[in-house]
Chains A and B, each alone.
Chain A
Amino acid sequence: MSAPAGSPHPAAGARMPPKLGGAVSGLAPPQQNGPAQSPMQVPSGYGLPHQNYMVPSGHYSQGPGKMTSLPLDSQCDSYYSRPYTVPTQNSGTPSSANQPGAQQMYGRGPSAPHMGGSTPGSFQGVPASASHSYSSASQPYSSLGNRYSSPTTYSANASVASQGYPSTCSHYPISTVSNVVYPNVSYPSLPASEPYGQMFTSQSAPPPARPVKESYSGPSTALTYPSRPPPPPSQHQQQQQQSHSGYSSLPWSGPALPPAQDSLIRNQMGSLATANSHPTNNENVQPPKSSSVVSTVLPGPSSTRMPPAPSHPVGPVPSAPPPPEQMQTKGVDSSSTTSSASPLPNSYDALEGGSYPDMHSSSASSPVPDHALEPNPTLAQALSAAPTPPAAQPAKVAKPFGYGYPALQPAYQNAAPPPMPAAHPSGPSYTGYPQHYPGVNQLSSGLGGLSLQSSPQPESLRPVNLTQEKNILPPTPIWAPVPNLSAELSKLNCSPDSFRCTLTSIPQTQALLNKAKLPLGLLLHPFRDLTQLPVITSNTIVRCRSCRTYINPFVSFIDQRRWKCNLCYRVNDVPEEFLYNPLTRSYGEPHKRPEVQNSTVEFIASSDYMLRPPQPAVYLFVLDVSHNAVEAGYLTVLCQSLLENLDKLPGDSRTRIGFMTFDSTIHFYNLQEGLSQPQMLIVSDIDDVFLPTPDSLLVNLYESKELIKDLLNALPSMFINTRETHSALGPALQAAFKLMSPTGGRVSVFQTQLPSLGAGLLQSREDPNQRSSTKVVHHLGPATDFYKKLALDCSGQQTAVDLFLLSSQYSDLASLACMSKYSAGCIFYYPSFHSTHNPSQAEKLQKDLKRYLTRKIGFEAVMRIRCTKGLSMHTFHGNFFVRSTDLLSLANINPDAGFAVQLSIEESLTDTALVCFQTALLYTSSKGERRIRVHTLCLPVVSSLADVYAGVDVQAAVCLLANMAVDRSVSSSLSDARDALVNAVVDPLSAYSSAVASVPRSTLTAPSSLKLLPLYVLALLKQKAFRTGTSTRLDDRVYAMCQMKSQPLVHLMKMIHPNLYRIDRLTDEGAIHVNDRVVPQPPLQKLSAEKLTREGAFLMDCGSVFYIWVGKGCDSNFIENVLGYPDFASIPQKMTHLPELDTLPSERTRSFVTWLRDSRPLSPVLHLVKDESPAKTDFFQHLLEDRTEAALSYYEFLIHIQQQVCK
């Protein structure tokens, strides 16, 4: 018996293709539900011998052949459409079961179960067949009204099958407990709520739904809200009525009430069959069990909702309904294992070990949201206020599931009042009703406000005369503009830190967009560290069947059973499981599920989303040990950092690590457990590299830890006397690729010079005399396609290559960077690195390494971006490989990676008021879990040019422009890119003044929302990436370009336009409090030397570096109390730390600097710049508003623009 059940799983495992790449999807895994779901099975498997599992697994054997699924992207296959059909159809077929005849009969006719089900003789046969009879009986309903969820039946079986026997066996004791709860109480409750859903839609839903559709914010939202409020109260009544009537008329035909007239007879038979099996044996109570996952979770609340139910004639079942409280405990217990969605912020944190400096979503359970860190004031406000019921609810109710019953009930009572009637556990529901109605009223009043929101923001359209506005830069940091949406929607919308659009009001047509002359695109930071993230474990991840969009807060529920996709407008069914809300423990409120309450959620994906078992974390370090490298001394820093962070490397017990070094030969290190010391293997045949001992080069981190430590201690001194100057980087990378290709993972390459040997060797292309040329800058593109090909190979094998370039000479970063660009790696560049001569670079490397080694990492990732029908994406920016039109292949994903996408409007958006964008990032966490992080952004559509201008997000636009300009400089030329940037300012401003504003053409006028565009574009033109006329090394320029492409918006903005603060007179005025520390908030200064005074000290925050400029006549008080020197003259030339002095000014300054530092992942290095020291040019080149010998000042630039506009 056990053999056939076991077989599908391993077999399928073997058949899984080894790689994720490739458009042709591999064989689907055999089971629908992965390990993540296995806990759900516990209760459903209760009381059953193993043999029962076989039969379900019989369904599965059909799975692999039929199902093809690429993670994320299978557009056509709906993975849950199969669960509906496959299991029920096949239920009769499994021949392995010992009562094939009986099963066949069940499959065909409902009358059969009577006999079959009532033969209690053998454990094996009966439970199995009973479950079949159930599923076949339920089939009609699933098509009609989804009476019993066949999907859950299926999933229950499925993951049991996948689990294997030992584990399931171990669950039996637990499950038998919940068995008691079940048959009598929860069973009726399910069907009872069903008729309600139908009746409700016919009666009460239409009235609220129609009128609101006309309101401003459009159908998708309007529909959801109005249709939501009524359910709770009426549902209660209905349920009560239904359950009463159902019971009184016919003991087990409660299910077969109004809507299912067609199938009434069958249903009765089916339920009779199930009823029949009840009396025989408690363990035979199959049918209710196969309603299963949902119902096991249900008992608690649902039973209490309907006190009358237990008293009804359910006599046959021997174990009488336990008292409500007892049942609740059990319900809670079982839901702790079976919960289909759980807000587990803490466990996630613990799992991933990431730090989350920023918070976003309101849903999860943290009692104290960190407002201080929330950059968007309105969002924070929304979070704290949470005035309206639906969203407020989960925040309050959500307690981690592990809580015991005593803890839960108070929580319920606190949270329950108006909004969530169904979840009120102890309340006899009648008393609850009066409370519910106010909730509805609140909502409808909220709706009133919704339509009033449509008035445009006057502030962002206020015309600003740029040439006359002296202080264009506001003194406070600039927040992202808030889309002009209703309060309800804005509250649900995605955080601008993760997801931003250059236009927060999307123009209706491409013509309008062309008229506005503004770039349209998205800026994404999808894997950002989050403090709060709802993590959802669910059997069925609800997605649109045609476009595969994940269900999100902006879909509309047509009724309880159907939802309308907000991207393609298809109407989809709501799966049975989705009707239960694990947060409120209520049933029948799909709109209150966490997926629908949060625009950023993370799903634990099932095995559908894997093409192979999740890979372990694998790290390979490829180190340059040529003379040049040893001279620079980076090995000491690296080995030290690695030794310190070895235990903090993200990963689980399977984590593997390996080392390679290379000069003109390639050295491998055998670290196999059991060796007394690391063994070095030298391969000198660089033309045809091979792996000397393929098995022992990548070793388990924990098993070989001592050897690894030995190696790291020995490495810095091992090559100290080397005379080898050549570098065979290409062959070393080929070897690394060979080493990594079976698993995938991360390769970190440390390189200090131009590769000079073997494949991929490069020539010096830079002409130092052309560094400050104003004409053409050559060689911005790669010299060879070797690195690109290698990167694509790596990407195909889920390997990312991260490049650390530490060279003092030209190293052709333009070519080398390709290895990281297309394999989704990251690039670090330390010009003129030397561990002793250049301590600030060494310190930076050390800090960067710390972050690099310990930050979160996702493996074998893909990201898909979807948008509402009518919009299309045409260009992507960032480090990845675009595998198909909207699918980005990311071998690794790290929290510091940003992406940009350009959009165009293909079809007019006239028939919709809202557009949505969704990114789904599917990755394997370092703990070997497959996860999907989904962000959804919703934006309004506007039809007038003025509205488009009102909604410009100037920072996002500038970042997108920077990305586009980088592309342009590589594909065309730098001067082209510069011209394009200037035009990007001229065009919208002239379009605005001619089309919108009625101002004389002689003045340069911009809407308030665009007033910073000229400044930012000027800043871009003065960036290392795009500047001309100033001496810029080619590698520096290329590195700046790489950063523009791969940095997220927040960091990129600081790089483009640094923040300048005066810090010699910090006061506590307007200070904020972070972790018991007072952080002063000095106003932003404009980046001009006119703001610098000799009497002051200024801090410039350039993102990756801080400068503190100290004026000659600086207050001696500051020098003494903050810098710790008696006078200006005694301050050393190179100072990179602020001393810890016990004075108030020092404390303030340090807390401010620390606060700035904490806001970014890579800790910046601080440089103290004395006035009149040679280093001050570094500082002054960032004063963007000033004139330099090669570039215009801000005012001159404005005049230039004005001339262009008025032409």
Chain B
Amino acid sequence: MEAVVFLFSLLDCCALIFLSVYFVITLSDLECDYINARSCCSKLNTWVIPELVGHTIVTVLMLVSLHWFIFLLNLPVATWNIYRFIMVPSGNMGVFDPTEIHNRGQLKSHMKEAMIKLGFYLLCFFMYLYSMILALIND
């Protein structure tokens, strides 16, 4: 059972890693002017909810399976994801808004955020991997 939980988390985490890499790549494309803001933002906005859901599932799963440490580790990131999603002003087109992304250094902060998340997911990945192997051995 334990192993199944971590296997699922591992796969989910892989997906999240790919997603963050995609975010980083798309944002840097925008930085280099390879794509325009409109298409960049619509691309990214479609993946905001999947990311949020994917991460929340793992967090909840950890809570349910009573892995307190991992749950607490994930909680801030999950909270931030949800907060960011809820706080989007009503007139904006999503977390990434093409009309504002070039203003006030938003692009840079989005980039930074994507990088931090990438690091975090990588950390999680190895943690889940370790836990899974440990669980398999214990079985």
Residue positions of A touching B, CB distance < 8 A? 21-24, 73, 75, 781-785, 788-789, 792, 796, 814-815, 818, 822, 874-876, 881-885, 887, 967, 971
In the complex, the answer to whether A874 meets B103 with C-beta atoms within 8 Å is: yes
Of B34, B90, B98, which is within 8 A of A792 by CB? Answer: B98
A967: chain B residues at CB < 8 Å are: 103-104
Q: A883-B36, A884-B37 are in contact. List 8 more A-B contacts (CB 8 A).
A: A788-B91, A796-B38, A814-B91, A815-B91, A874-B104, A874-B105, A883-B37, A885-B102
B38: chain A residues at CB < 8 Å are: 792, 796
A796: chain B residues at CB < 8 Å are: 38
In the complex, the answer to whether A882 meets B102 with C-beta atoms within 8 Å is: yes
A815 nearest CB neighbor, chain B only: B91
- Known A23-B33, A23-B34, A792-B38: A882·B91 in contact at CB below 8 Å: no
Min distance, Cβ B44 to any Cβ of chain A, angstroms: 15
B35: chain A residues at CB < 8 Å are: 23-24
In the complex, the answer to whether A21 meets B31 with C-beta atoms within 8 Å is: no
In the complex, the answer to whether B31 meets A885 with C-beta atoms within 8 Å is: yes
Of B30, B91, B102, B105, which is within 8 A of A785 by CB? Answer: B91
> With A and B bound together, what is the CA distance between A789 and B97 in angstroms?
10
Of A24, A784, A822, which is within 8 A of B99 by CB? Answer: A822
In the complex, the answer to whether A21 meets B36 with C-beta atoms within 8 Å is: yes
Residue positions of B touching A, CB distance < 8 A? 30-31, 33-38, 89-93, 98-99, 102-105
- Interface hub of A21, A23, A782 (most chain B Cβ within 10 A): A23
Min distance, Cβ B27 to any Cβ of chain A, angstroms: 12
B103: chain A residues at CB < 8 Å are: 874-876, 882, 967
Of A21, A23, A783, A881, which is within 8 A of B91 by CB? Answer: A783
A971: chain B residues at CB < 8 Å are: 89
B34: chain A residues at CB < 8 Å are: 23
> With A and B bound together, what is the CA distance between A785 and B94 in angstroms?
9
In the complex, the answer to whether B99 meets A882 with C-beta atoms within 8 Å is: yes
A21 nearest CB neighbor, chain B only: B36
- Known A23-B34, A881-B98, A882-B37: A789·B104 in contact at CB below 8 Å: no
B31: chain A residues at CB < 8 Å are: 885
In the complex, the answer to whether A785 meets B104 with C-beta atoms within 8 Å is: no
> With A and B bound together, what is the CA distance between A883 and B93 in angstroms?
16
Of B33, B37, B93, which is within 8 A of A788 by CB? Answer: B93
Of A22, A781, A815, A875, which is within 8 A of B36 by CB? Answer: A22
Query: Can you report 20 A-B residue pairs in the complex whose CB atoms are below 8 A from each other?
Result: A22-B36, A23-B35, A24-B35, A75-B33, A782-B91, A783-B91, A784-B91, A785-B90, A785-B92, A788-B92, A818-B91, A882-B102, A882-B103, A883-B36, A883-B37, A884-B33, A884-B37, A884-B102, A885-B31, A971-B89
B102: chain A residues at CB < 8 Å are: 876, 882, 884-885
B34 nearest CB neighbor, chain A only: A23
In the complex, the answer to whether B36 meets A792 with C-beta atoms within 8 Å is: no
- Interface hub of A782, A814, A884, A887 (most chain B Cβ within 10 A): A884
Min distance, Cβ B54 to any Cβ of chain A, angstroms: 25
A785: chain B residues at CB < 8 Å are: 90-93
B91 nearest CB neighbor, chain A only: A782
B91: chain A residues at CB < 8 Å are: 781-785, 788, 814-815, 818
> With A and B bound together, what is the CA distance between A1093 and B33 in angstroms?
61
A791 nearest CB neighbor, chain B only: B99
Min distance, Cβ B33 to any Cβ of chain A, angstroms: 4
B107 nearest CB neighbor, chain A only: A885
A23: chain B residues at CB < 8 Å are: 33-36
Min distance, Cβ B29 to any Cβ of chain A, angstroms: 9
Nearest 5 interchain pairs by C-beta:
A782-B91, A23-B36, A882-B102, A884-B33, A875-B103
Min distance, Cβ B18 to any Cβ of chain A, angstroms: 24
Min distance, Cβ B107 to any Cβ of chain A, angstroms: 8
> With A and B bound together, what is the CA distance between A876 and B104 in angstroms?
9
A885: chain B residues at CB < 8 Å are: 31, 33, 102
- Known A792-B38, A882-B37: A784·B90 in contact at CB below 8 Å: yes
A75: chain B residues at CB < 8 Å are: 33
Min distance, Cβ A19 to any Cβ of chain B, angstroms: 12
> With A and B bound together, what is the CA distance between A311 and B33 in angstroms?
59
> With A and B bound together, what is the CA distance between A876 and B102 in angstroms?
8
- Known A21-B36, A792-B99, A882-B102: A782·B93 in contact at CB below 8 Å: no
B99 nearest CB neighbor, chain A only: A822
In the complex, the answer to whether B90 meets A788 with C-beta atoms within 8 Å is: no
> With A and B bound together, what is the CA distance between A876 and B90 in angstroms?
22
In the complex, the answer to whether B90 meets A783 with C-beta atoms within 8 Å is: yes
> With A and B bound together, what is the CA distance between A782 and B100 in angstroms?
14
> With A and B bound together, what is the CA distance between A818 and B98 in angstroms?
13
- Known A796-B38, A874-B104, A875-B104: A881·B93 in contact at CB below 8 Å: no
> With A and B bound together, what is the CA distance between A784 and B92 in angstroms?
8
> With A and B bound together, what is the CA distance between A885 and B105 in angstroms?
10
> With A and B bound together, what is the CA distance between A814 and B37 in angstroms?
23
In the complex, the answer to whether B89 meets A781 with C-beta atoms within 8 Å is: yes
> With A and B bound together, what is the CA distance between A23 and B29 in angstroms?
11
A792: chain B residues at CB < 8 Å are: 38, 98-99
Min distance, Cβ A1089 to any Cβ of chain B, angstroms: 40
A818: chain B residues at CB < 8 Å are: 91
B37: chain A residues at CB < 8 Å are: 881-884
B105: chain A residues at CB < 8 Å are: 874
> With A and B bound together, what is the CA distance between A910 and B91 in angstroms?
43
A875: chain B residues at CB < 8 Å are: 103-104
A881 nearest CB neighbor, chain B only: B99
> With A and B bound together, what is the CA distance between A822 and B41 in angstroms?
15
Min distance, Cβ B74 to any Cβ of chain A, angstroms: 29
Min distance, Cβ A815 to any Cβ of chain B, angstroms: 7
Min distance, Cβ B41 to any Cβ of chain A, angstroms: 10
- Known A781-B90, A784-B91, A789-B93: A884·B36 in contact at CB below 8 Å: yes
A24: chain B residues at CB < 8 Å are: 35
> With A and B bound together, what is the CA distance between A23 and B37 in angstroms?
9
Min distance, Cβ B36 to any Cβ of chain A, angstroms: 4
In the complex, the answer to whether B90 meets A782 with C-beta atoms within 8 Å is: yes
B103 nearest CB neighbor, chain A only: A875
B102 nearest CB neighbor, chain A only: A882
B90: chain A residues at CB < 8 Å are: 781-785
> With A and B bound together, what is the CA distance between A875 and B90 in angstroms?
22
B99: chain A residues at CB < 8 Å are: 788, 792, 822, 881-882
B36: chain A residues at CB < 8 Å are: 21-23, 883-884
Min distance, Cβ B48 to any Cβ of chain A, angstroms: 15
B30: chain A residues at CB < 8 Å are: 884
A788: chain B residues at CB < 8 Å are: 91-93, 99
> With A and B bound together, what is the CA distance between A785 and B97 in angstroms?
10
B41 nearest CB neighbor, chain A only: A792
> With A and B bound together, what is the CA distance between A883 and B99 in angstroms?
9
Min distance, Cβ B129 to any Cβ of chain A, angstroms: 39
A814: chain B residues at CB < 8 Å are: 91
B30 nearest CB neighbor, chain A only: A884
- Interface hub of B35, B90, B102 (most chain A Cβ within 10 A): B102
A785 nearest CB neighbor, chain B only: B93
> With A and B bound together, what is the CA distance between A822 and B105 in angstroms?
19
Min distance, Cβ B95 to any Cβ of chain A, angstroms: 12
> With A and B bound together, what is the CA distance between A837 and B33 in angstroms?
53
Min distance, Cβ A490 to any Cβ of chain B, angstroms: 33
A75 nearest CB neighbor, chain B only: B33
B98 nearest CB neighbor, chain A only: A792
Min distance, Cβ A877 to any Cβ of chain B, angstroms: 9
B98: chain A residues at CB < 8 Å are: 792, 881
Min distance, Cβ B45 to any Cβ of chain A, angstroms: 11
Min distance, Cβ A796 to any Cβ of chain B, angstroms: 7
A787 nearest CB neighbor, chain B only: B91
> With A and B bound together, what is the CA distance between A73 and B36 in angstroms?
13
A782: chain B residues at CB < 8 Å are: 89-91
A888 nearest CB neighbor, chain B only: B102
> With A and B bound together, what is the CA distance between A952 and B120 in angstroms?
46
A876 nearest CB neighbor, chain B only: B103
> With A and B bound together, what is the CA distance between A874 and B108 in angstroms?
10
> With A and B bound together, what is the CA distance between A788 and B91 in angstroms?
8
